[in-house]
Structure 1
Amino acid sequence: MRERSKYQEQHLLCMMSPGTERDAETPLIPPDYEDQMATRQNRIQIILRVYAVSFLFLLAMALIAAPQADIVENIICRHFQDPDLDLTKQPLDCKREAVQSELALVQGWGDSLIQIPGIFLALPYGIMADKCGRKPVFMLSFLGVLLSDTWVKIVCEFTSPPRSLGDLFPDIFPIRMVWAAPIMQVIGGGRAVSTLLTYTIIADVVRPAERTRWLMWLTAIDLMAFILGGAGGAVLMRRSSWDPLILSSFLLVLSMLSMMTIPETLPVEDKYSGEDREMGSLSSRPAIGASRASFRKLTASIRAIWTNPVIILLLVVFLLVRLTTESKSALLQYTSKRFRWEYSTVSAVRDTTLHTIMYL
């Protein structure tokens, strides 16, 4: 109501100005007012849907870390156990050095390899999003993450100690086969592309002056997802480490279905006119000349980035933030080994406390 009154007041002042032509049939409320309000409502609906998709996706990711580490540790521990050991008299010691070294190797290489698709494919998929639209590329990135996560769970299931399907198909995969999960993220480019497109879609539908506010809300919602994921995963792990993993798969599928409700936000003029100009300019040149021109343009763009001290400083800051984020799995394992805590306890203390402080 306040926005409407302000808009009407500005319109009335304009109508009462001396240079404005008006008659008895001139409406006091501008005819395009309802269209503008409808457009604003559509923008807010798109933003809220993006928030919901991001929340579900990151909630699923937050549920995975601790239970997956617990399952992998138990698998490795079973493989390192002495066959003559009587488990009724002496329980397995999964915190011994040999088990923790192998766990660190599996987790460390897995966390490193999963970054490769985003490093090499973020730019190509970004160009595709500018040409073909945000939504199809967004869906591809979610599909790649879902397939990658499903592969890790399949390997853990068919390598795990006797349990359900493991009774029928014991030890089909070695646990290091989880390193093949990044291959699935060639589809869509992985989390790097999905994160990029989340911010891009919001930037498409809001004015530049409002972007900071809406992106800050997105960050707050993401932190809330990590808080609930850490606490919820810890509670579910009290029953079984597989429960949060199953729930995470359901949330990933639900986030993909929610993504389907978001309309395409790529501006039509950017999709067609820019492409037509580019194709027209390239078609008037020989193929080799066009390739050289494209290469020179790419080189100039890279040079502009590396000669700008502000951009370099931001890249360094983002690198440090990323290193901190990726060290969480190592911190999870170290805390569990150092204090001999269950992973559910570590997850509850670490994720809930850390992200609550960041949220506040």
Structure 2
Amino acid sequence: MAASEYTPLLEPSTRPQDRSSRWRVLALICFIVLIQDFAEYLSQAPQTEIWLEVVTRKFCPVGQDGPECQMDRVQREVALLQGWKDTLEQVPGWFSDQLPLRLIWLGPIAQVLGGGTQVATSIMYVILADLFSDEEQITAFLYVAATVLVSEILATPLSALLMTRNIWLPYLLSPAFNAAGGLLLFLLPETLPQTPPSQPSSSEQASQRQTFRGRIRAGVDELSRSIAVIWRHRPVQLFLVVFFIAYLGMQVMKLLLLFAADRFHWTIAQASFLVPVRGFTRLLLLLVILPGISRWLIERRRMSPFTKNTRLALTSSACMGVGCLLIALSSHPAGAVLGLVVYALGSAMHLFARRIITSLVDAHHMGTLYTAIAVMQGIGVLVAGPMMATAYGWGLAQGGVWTGAPFLLVGGLYGAAGLAI
């Protein structure tokens, strides 16, 4: 078969694991993801409400109202906190009356060990890529994505209900779920094929006795060769850009609660009910709509899997861009709900992009590829926080429709992602 820039770099490797063990590992990964994301969505709304209360006490002293209470400034400060928190991660602000709330920006120091969410996500997808064949990988990815949505649908209304009792209750339950999910990670098996031990040769023994500096140099050389192999493919480069835009754009939804509360004069608890709307639509998309469309494109339209995934990725990018524009321009809650639904219909874009880019790289380089994806994801989150906070602050200063400036910006970025695809 003739090779092209769209063919895999090397022949696919065999996967010795039997079917039942592979699906058991997938079920375990899905359960871990369910618990971890449940913890995140459980704390999302109360965290925003707590920050609003703390910042309001600073800018709106007790007994003041009206012009003296600078609510726009409160919104800008909370958006700034949210943006840089996503950039620098978080630690709980226990002593908000004595210490400045911006100390939450010191949180990422704890992630020096392990690397945080991006590394965990990268490892999870490498495990799935090791276990499943090319045809089964998209199904495994969809199951994991659907699990995230189940946690979103369940945790958000539960969080709103618990907030009516005590705003701190769901916020303090979140670390307990995180710890439980972390303990389950020890149950994950090694997924790489095991090679039988052999007697080391004299050259291998010499290699084992090499200096620490030599081992580092050898590791860097191996990493450089893997990166060079990956970056030689122009489609891989373009899809890495798509990942950067996708993860940058996803961060705008962190401002959804603030935006809806300001635009429609809601409380944070009321605004939090928008989150399950998005989650339910995405779950319907992954479990019903996409499987049906995929089957129709392959069986009726006779599309190849690569072409099908590319078309669906492009359509998803368009849906996310249009959805963001509808949210930004909405003057009524119904318009925001419609925008959320359209946005959610495109939320599988990164899954199709991941499947496409995985098909272009051999399993031997999969770890390097997924590390590159994790780096682009991390850079996207790093840039998105301050960018979205700045755009939202500027929009609040302008007033009117410009309060949706972050969503307008992201809508344009998804258009650029469509061009890259």
> 2:34, 2:147 within 8 Å by CA — same for their partners in 1?
yes
- Of 102-111 and 51-60, more deviation after overlay is shown by 102-111
Is residue 229 of structure 2 the alignment partner of residue 299 of structure 1?
Answer: no
Distance in 2 of aligned mates of 1:228 and 1:333: 21
1:41 corresponds to: 20
Q: 2:34 aligns with which of 30, 55, 64?
A: 55
Matches within 5 A, 1:277-288: 282-283=207-208
Is residue 244 of structure 2 the alignment partner of residue 319 of structure 1?
Answer: yes
1:15 corresponds to: none
Q: 1:109 aligns with which of 49, 73, 84?
A: 84
Distance in 2 of aligned mates of 1:264 and 1:329: 35
CA offset digits 1:178-204 (Å, max 9, x no partner) = 001111111211111111222223333
C-alpha displacement at 1:241, in angstroms? 2.2
AA paired with 2:40?
Answer: M
- Of 214-223 and 286-295, more deviation after overlay is shown by 286-295
Is residue 104 of structure 2 the alignment partner of residue 178 of structure 1?
Answer: yes
CA offset digits 1:205-238 (Å, max 9, x no partner) = 3344422222221111122222222232222222
Q: 1:220 aligns with which of 142, 146, 156?
A: 146
Q: What is the TM-score of this pair, normalised by structure 1?
A: 0.64
Q: CA RMSD in A?
A: 3.4
In structure 1, list runs of 5 or more residues that go unmatched.
1-35, 115-147, 160-170
1:235 corresponds to: 161
Is residue 165 of structure 2 the alignment partner of residue 188 of structure 1?
Answer: no
Is residue 290 of structure 2 the alignment partner of residue 356 of structure 1?
Answer: no
Q: Secondary structure at the match of 1:269?
A: coil
AA paired with 1:158?
Answer: F
> 2:60, 2:69 within 8 Å by CA — same for their partners in 1?
no
Label 1:281 to 1:298 Cα distance change in 2 as closer, same or farther (>3 A): farther
Label 1:301 to 1:61 Cα distance change in 2 as closer, same or farther (>3 A): same
Matches within 5 A, 1:1-360: 39-82=18-61, 85-86=62-63, 96-114=71-89, 151-152=91-92, 155=93, 157-159=94-96, 171-269=97-195, 282-283=207-208, 294-349=219-274, 351-360=275-284
AA paired with 1:232?
Answer: L
C-alpha displacement at 1:286, in angstroms? 8.2
> 2:60, 2:70 within 8 Å by CA — same for their partners in 1?
no
Percentage of identical aligned residues:
30
C-alpha displacement at 1:295, in angstroms? 4.3
In structure 2, list runs of 5 or more residues that go unmatched.
1-15, 285-421
C-alpha displacement at 1:313, in angstroms? 1.9
Distance in 1 of aligned mates of 2:57 and 2:209: 66
Distance in 2 of aligned mates of 1:101 and 1:276: 64
AA paired with 1:192?
Answer: Q
> 2:59, 2:74 within 8 Å by CA — same for their partners in 1?
yes
Q: What is the TM-score of this pair, normalised by structure 2?
A: 0.56
Q: Secondary structure at the match of 1:267?
A: coil
Distance in 1 of aligned mates of 2:258 and 2:99: 23
> 1:94, 1:100 within 8 Å by CA — same for their partners in 2?
no
> 1:77, 1:92 within 8 Å by CA — same for their partners in 2?
no
Larger radius of gyration: 1
C-alpha displacement at 1:280, in angstroms? 5.5
How many corresponding residue pairs? 268
> 1:74, 1:94 within 8 Å by CA — same for their partners in 2?
no
Label 1:190 to 1:295 Cα distance change in 2 as closer, same or farther (>3 A): closer
> 1:205, 1:265 within 8 Å by CA — same for their partners in 2?
yes
C-alpha displacement at 1:254, in angstroms? 1.9
Q: Secondary structure at the match of 2:195?
A: helix
- Of 200-209 and 95-104, more deviation after overlay is shown by 200-209
AA paired with 1:43?
Answer: R
Q: Secondary structure at the match of 1:188?
A: coil
2:371 corresponds to: none
Q: Secondary structure at the match of 1:185?
A: helix
AA paired with 2:79?
Answer: A
Distance in 2 of aligned mates of 1:327 and 1:281: 53
> 2:59, 2:70 within 8 Å by CA — same for their partners in 1?
no
C-alpha displacement at 1:289, in angstroms? 7.2
C-alpha displacement at 1:102, in angstroms? 1.7
CA offset digits 1:126-185 (Å, max 9, x no partner) = xxxxxxxxxxxxxxxxxxxxxx5xx32xx1x321xxxxxxxxxxx232211100111111
Distance in 1 of aligned mates of 2:267 and 2:201: 59
Label 1:40 to 1:307 Cα distance change in 2 as closer, same or farther (>3 A): closer
AA paired with 2:109?
Answer: I
> 1:95, 1:340 within 8 Å by CA — same for their partners in 2?
no
CA offset digits 1:288-321 (Å, max 9, x no partner) = 7776665444434333333322112211221121
